[in-house]
Structure 1
């Protein structure tokens, strides 16, 4: 399937980054996004324990045909605890629950949010294929997977999109997934494209983040690594100023330059930032400046792995540690 060049990640309207906005504020942002021409919304079973899907569903009432709607299953909150479960029965039940919460009769793109390593990937993908045959979903996606897992999944059903983390400071996709998806005509949907706020220059002091903000437990925001990473920001700001855009827009322009199949999905709680991010699609940034951006912020210049050991064990995407 052909996705719009950029989408809107809806997670932080309900989940993960401290105290989310009120449902009314979230709804206003989503409606403003639709009015601004955003035509790809990305949500998930996990986000807010289902509340994010309900919010997106409210925004889409009367406007369903305007967007490519994506959601995910295989990872959910049970009694407030995140559970990865890729059994076919679980996935089929979650597809139905997503449809109910969203208030739609089909979801255009449905991802396996995480590969449950206790379940063969073919069984999980086979369940989503049956949901596709039933008309409940339009296409199958995978999230945080390796090329090897993608290839195994493709033996069972066509895969339309892979959603992996990709940004200037997270280059794991360049260990094979960027080229594999390009070769097969698969969308590479880049989540956290502005590096969880780092590349939008919006973090400040990580110690001041809300108590439940997930970045508090991420190594790159630790007291050890943050000073090294923050030292890159003055040059980053200068590059954005030279390009005549915001730091976030420069990060998005760099990603868009990586291939026509690369689809960033920045998230925000600010209507102004949403509009600014969306405008990056039409930016023209000098190739030489983008190359300098890629040299300034790269695996070799960023301190710390992207996840702590526990969350790292949950993902399947290639790592630089394994490649070393």
Structure 2
């Protein structure tokens, strides 16, 4: 029996959030005396897939049919179910994401499985029972869930575990599922990718700006800090609505939800909608000249000051420390 881990692919390699899912799945496999098998769909480099072994996987099933190149939750769920049957998997791990949640829900219906999303810790296992903690109310609270179904699908929140590499390699096997044409009635005709160097969902550090930046012409100090830190850049909803920054940088309840190791908010007041998108961050630093800004209540560290004075000093200090 294998714990089956569904991974997401970007530019031929396994995404960072999926590397964490593999680490989680490998640890669960160890706890139940099983092995961890990875399922990868679409075009991917075999050597990059083999690196799943570095995160604890024993084997990778690779379905490379061209039809699976573009993300399709209906087709992906069908393939996941077929892989689960082949491997005899009773525990399936996915990374919590837009794709992961959609695939998990569809696969759960087909497998008559329980699906729990937003899991933040390893399970407590007692026989067939898995007790897990999950994030609820956009990260404002946690719930403990006791899963007793025969088949369990766990969607793991980013930073639930740390993806640590061992240097081992996994065996990569070709997987040829039966593809249902009904799942391909909608076709992807074009894909437009962000030209950002770092993906917000994958970034370990994010520097984000709000209306306190005063205008698009004033963004350079923030960009300089992000470059010094090797960080991705984000923004609040009002900033993207005003077209100061691209809409793909919008972080919040109606934008992208992120969970970096470090989130630096510059000139963002901290509306509840923005907090809902960043409360999974391990450490939040807020820079704002208003000491009453609501964001300070959610911050691990706060700097009260003019961002146009603070940011250049931070950048200079970081560059001097390298």
Answer whether TM exceeds 0.5 for this pair: no
Tell me which protein shows more strand as a share of its residues: 2
Q: Could you tell me the TM-score, scaled by structure 1's length?
A: 0.29
Tell me which protein shows more helix as a share of its residues: 1
Largest Rg, 1 or 2 = 2
Q: Could you tell me the TM-score, scaled by structure 2's length?
A: 0.29
